[in-house]
Amino acid sequence: MRIPGYGGGDVMLDSDATTGTRRGPGATLSAKRMTDRERKAFRAALAARRPERKAATEKALETAEKAVAEVPAEVEALAETVAVTEAEAKAAAAEAEAAFNLGAGYQRLGEIYGGEDEEGDGEQRDVNDILAEFYARIQEDAAAQRRAVGESAYNLLFEEFSRYGMGSLVEPLRGFIEEGLSPAEFTIRLRNTDSYKKRFAANQARIAKGLRALSEAEYIELEDQYQNVMRTYGLPPSYYERGELGRQQGFEKFIAGDVSAAELEDRIQVAQDRVINAAPQVGQALRQFYPDITNGDILAYALDPDQALTQIKRKVTAAEIGAGAMQAGLATGLARAEELQRYGVTGETAREGFGVIAGGLERGRQLSSIYQQPQYTQQIAETEIFALPSATEARRQRTRLAKLEQATFGGGTGVTGGALARERAGEI
C-alpha cells in the first residue's frame, strides 16, 4: 500500500495476509489485530484504573494548594524576621554612635582642659576639675540665652506701653532681664509695681466694688472716650488734663463707678442744657432750693458718679418746676416742687400750668372772700390744674365760685379753669 511520506516521497507498506506485517523503506511496523474479547478486556482495565488516576490527581492538586497557601505565611514570617533584625541593627548602631560621641566628647574635653595646670608643673588636671569647668561653661551659655529671652520680652513690653506714652512704667523692670522672663511674666511683675498701681488706680477701686479690672487698653480707651465727650460739650481742659504717666485723675471716679461714656454725656447734657444754658429762672430756682450753688457746682454735681443720674434729673426737674412758677409771677418751695415732680409734672407742663393758675388765682381768692367760701389757694388751683389727687374736689370749689359770680354779675367769670390736656405721669 502506498501512502504519502513526510519527506515528500511515498512509503510502501506491504501487507502479509498471513502475518499481518507491513513493510516499508527503513522501518518495519508490526500490528496485531485485537479480538473483540481483548478489546473489551482492555477497556475494562482502563475503566478500573480511572478512579485511581482521579484520586491521584486530586491528591496532587490538594498538595499543591496547601503549598501555595503556606507561602504567604512563610513570606510574612520572613518579613517580620527581617524587620526585627533591622530594628536591632539600628538600635545597636545608635548605641554605638552614642558611645562613640561620648568617647569623642571626653576626648575633646581632654584636649581642651586636659593640659598641664596653670603652674606648669606638668601634672595632668583632675577630671572633676575638667567637668566642673565644663559645667560652668554650660551655665554661662544658659544665662546668656535667658538674658536674650528677657531682653526680647522687655523690649516688646516697652514698645507696647510707649505707644501710650507710658514707657517709663516699664523701665524699672529692666533688672528682670537676667531672669529671662517671658512677656506674660513681665506683665505680672509690671502690674505689681507702685507706678503701675498709681497710673491705673481706678482698677483697685473696681475690684473692691466687685467689678473686674480693666485691661490697660480698655482703661485708656475709656479715658479717651470721656475726653472726647467733654471736648464736644466745651468743658474746660482742666476737667481732662493729663498728669504724670498720662494719668487723668478726674476720670478715675467714672472708671471706678463703671460709668460709660454714654452716661457721662447724659450727665453733661442735664447739667448744661437743662440748667446752665436754660432760662435764668431755672438756675435761680436751683440756687433757691440749694443755696450758694454755682454753675461749676452744678456741673461738678452732675459729673459726680456718687450721685445717681436719676437723682440729678429729679433735682433739676424740681428746679425747672420752680422756674415755671417764677415765670408766672408765683412762688413755690422745694418740697412742693419735688412733690409735683413725683406726680409727673415736668418743666414744660409747669410753665403752662402756672400760667393758667396765675390768670385766675387772684380772682378766686377775692370771690371766696366775698361769698364767704373756703379759701381758694394756689395749692387748690395746682391740684386741679396738674390733676393731683383731690382734683375733682378742687374743681368743684372753683366751679362753685364761678357760678356765684355769674349769678351776681352775669356774663363770664374771672376764675379761670381748664386743666392742662395731659395725663398724669405718676403718683406717690
Tens of pLDDT, residues 90-137: 666 666 566 555 555 555 555 555 555 555 554 555 656 656 666 666
Whether residue 161 contacts residue 171, with contact meaning beta carbons closer than 8 Å, is answered with no
d(CA 272, CA 295): 9
Domain boundaries, the chain: 102-109+126-193, 343-428
Residues whose CB is less than 8 angstroms from the CB of residue 166 and which lie 6 or more positions away in sequence, other chains included: 199, 245, 246
| Radius of gyration for the chain, computed over Cα atoms and rounded to the nearest angstrom | 59
Whether residue 303 contacts residue 268, with contact meaning beta carbons closer than 8 Å, is answered with yes
- In the 8-state DSSP scheme, what is residue 373? P
H or E element in which residue 2 lies: strand 2-4
* Model confidence, pTM: 0.45
DSSP annotation string for 9-67: SEEE-EE-TTT-EEEETTEEEE--PPPHHHHHHHHHHHHHHHHHHHHHHHHHHHHHHHH
> Strand pairing partners for 29?
22
pLDDT tens sequence for the chain (428 residues): 444 444 444 444 444 444 444 444 444 444 456 677 877 776 777 677 777 767 777 776 677 667 666 656 665 665 565 555 566 656 666 665 665 555 555 555 555 555 555 555 545 556 566 566 666 666 666 666 656 665 666 676 667 666 666 666 666 666 665 565 666 776 787 788 888 888 899 999 999 999 999 998 899 899 999 999 988 888 778 888 888 778 888 899 999 999 999 999 998 888 787 777 778 888 788 888 877 666 666 777 777 767 666 777 888 899 999 999 999 999 999 999 999 999 999 999 999 999 999 999 999 899 999 989 999 999 999 999 999 999 999 999 999 998 988 888 765 555 555 433 333 333 32
- Provide φ and ψ at 262, rounded to 5°: -65, -40
